[in-house]
Structure 1
Amino acid sequence: MNALSYNTERAQLHIPEYGRNVQNMINYAKQIEDRDERNLAARAIIDVMGQLNPHLRDVEDYTHKLWTHLYIMSNFEIDVDSPYDIPEPETLRERPQSMNYPRNTSRYGHFGHYAEKMIKEAATIKDEEEKTYMTELLANLLKKNYLVFHTKNVENSAITSHLRELSKGELQLDDVNQLKSTNTILKSVGVVPKKTFKKHKSKKRRK
């Protein structure tokens, strides 16, 4: 009886997405002595790789990527005539440079950096009509951001107070009724307001 072969006992796959059969095909193609026959085998393997990963067709220059994968899976040992430059192993092993992410600080995290930045810009508006419009707009934005962050009610007076503070007294909403209701805001952002239900004691059924 032949002993079973387990994947844990086999060589590790360079790119597991293609499966062990494709890896075995590449290993076999490496050993073909006739160059023309080896080239034909390589192109046939490329076709199979493309069929197994049709999503690569959406990638720009996907054929180039398939040939790169072929070289990687052959451990860069297959000698074939590729339509592209043979990739250097060192370049593929290079780690991408770390990106610098902007670190913006907000006085009130629940309002957000951009909301506070908009308030500072609006505070410099000279046209009174435009300034009044922006005051109401930003007050509702602050309330929405607060509710999304906390998902609980907030006093309108607290929102107008924060708006006045962040604008250094330049933006003042005199009528708090201009702020949208909590339920309206929560529904607009896809949050269902919590309803209160009265608890009823269940009556035991008489036999």
Structure 2
Amino acid sequence: MLEYNASRPDVILKEYGRNIQKLANYLSTIEDREQRTRYAYTLIELMRQLNPNVKDNNETTQKLWDDLFIMTNFALDVEAPYPPPEVDILTRKPKRVPYSTEPVRFRHYGKNMERLIAQASELEDPTEKQGATIYLGKLMKTFYSTWNRENVDDEVILRDLEHMSRGKLTISIDEVKQGNLFDTNQPKSRSNNNNNSNKGRRSNNHRRKR
């Protein structure tokens, strides 16, 4: 007499197929626990061969035993190397992954910028801290310009820097604007220009004497 699918017992884990399910059901009918355990180990190896591409490690082996317990409705009593999984493993809702609460406007600076700011915030020397603040301001302005090609306001950069450092990195906005401290292409200082002009004068005078 033909056995129709409608009359067959359900396959709990379809990736293993009906034959493995039948063998799992048969394990529960073996009365001798020692013999039942030996058959269970044999079935585990058979289940492993159905997935030859999966790496052979402790995590994979434990998953095979978990699957075997699941296919026997957690009723299998054997000397297994791992404890049976919890009964609600199939119905348990996955843990919700917490979303970042960081405002969207700070994402263009990147995670590395957050790490740099965190490190600079722990500096104790005031001079080093101010130098780090100016350096980070320049870096943030460069990133901001890449993300938004419009003119970047130093006040926006300073506000973001203060927010991301929780107020530990700050500098006067007037000082930033007067010294163009956040600009990456600063003009040469007057002292350098004066030195260059003085060098030019000395060279000209030297030529005239000749």
Please report the TM-score for the alignment, with normalisation by the length of structure 1. Answer: 0.55
Deviation per residue, 1:87-127 (Å, 9 max, x gap): 44256754455454442235x35645866897799799645
In structure 1, the partner of 2:189 is: none
Are positions 1:41 and 2:48 aligned together?
Answer: no
Unaligned runs of 5+ in 2: 162-171, 187-210
Higher helix share: 2
In structure 2, relative to structure 1, the CA distance for the partners of 1:178 and 1:159 (3 Å cut) is farther
Residue 150 (structure 1) aligns with: none
Give the TM-score taking structure 2 as reference length.
Answer: 0.55
Which residue in 2 is equivalent to 1:133?
135
CA contact (8 A) 2:135 2:182 kept: no
- The code of the aligned residue for 1:48 comes to L
Letter in 1 for 2:25: N
Cα shift readout 1:147-172 (whole Å, capped 9, x = no counterpart): 6xxxxxx13x2365632554572655
Larger radius of gyration: 2
Q: How many residues align?
A: 167
CA offset digits 1:13-46 (Å, max 9, x no partner): 3222322221122122223344444333211101
Q: What does residue range 169-188 of structure 1 map to in structure 2 within 5 Å?
A: 169=173, 171-172=176-177, 173=180, 178=185
RMSD: 4.3
1:23 corresponds to:
21
Identity of aligned residues (%): 28
Deviations, residues 162-201 of structure 1 (Å, cap 9, x unaligned): 325545726554686639xxxxxxxxxxxxxxxxxxxxxx
Matches of 1:72 and 1:56 in 2, distance apart? 21
Give the alignment partner of residue 156 of structure 2, picking from 138, 150, 162.
Answer: 162
Residues 8-17 or 74-83, more deviating: 8-17
Letter in 2 for 1:135: G
